[in-house]
Amino acid sequence: MNTDTETGTTATADVRAIEQVVAAVERTQRAKDAEGFLALFHPDALWTTGHGKVLLGFDAIAGFTRAVLPDATWDGDVTYEVAHVQFLRPDVAAVKVRQVYRSAEGDTEGAPLYVMTRRDDGTWQLHACQNTPVLGDDVG
C-alpha cells in the first residue's frame, strides 16, 4: 500500500484506523449486514454505486442499502484491500480500494475511491464514495 501525506510521513494510527473501516466494509458486505455497513457513514455522506446511482445523504444511502444489500446474491467471495491512502488534510483522506469478487465464472474487480473524514473522537467515516467497476483487460 502506498501512503502520502503533506509532510511525507505516514500517520500510522490513522492508516490503521482507515484499514479497519475498509475491513468493516468487506465484513458487512459479506454478511449482508445493512446496519453494520451504514454505521460506517458520515451523516452527510454521498455514495455513487458501481452502476452510477447517486445517493445524496445518509437517508438515501440507508434506503438503498436496506433495500438491496440483504437480498443481494452472488456466488463466490468478495475482498476489499486498501491500495493507497493520501491525506488531503490531517482529518481527510482519499482512499483507493481494490475490490475483487471471486466466483466460478471468473473474477471481477472494482476500484472504489473513498473520501474519508476523521471525527473529533478519532473515528474515520466514509464521506464521499465512488464505486467503480474495472472493465475489460484491466481486471487482474
Of 105, 124, 103, nearest in space to 115 by CA:
124
Name the H helices within 4-137.
Answer: 12-31, 34-38, 58-68
Query: What is the C-alpha to C-alpha distance for residues 76 and 55, in angstroms, rounded to an integer?
Result: 27
Query: What is the C-alpha to C-alpha distance for residues 140 and 41, in angstroms, rounded to an integer?
Result: 29
Count of residues in the chain: 140
Number of helices followed by number of strands (H, E) in the chain:
3, 9
Task: Identify the pLDDT of residue 85.
Answer: 96
Largest CA distance in the chain: 45
Bin 117: left if φ > 0, else alpha if -120 < ψ < 50, else beta: beta
Residue in the structure block whose three cell numbers are 475491513: 23
Per-residue pLDDT of the chain (140 residues; tens, 9 = 90+): 555 544 444 478 999 999 999 999 999 998 999 999 999 999 999 999 888 999 999 999 999 999 988 887 776 788 999 999 999 999 999 999 999 988 888 888 999 999 999 999 999 999 999 988 888 654 45
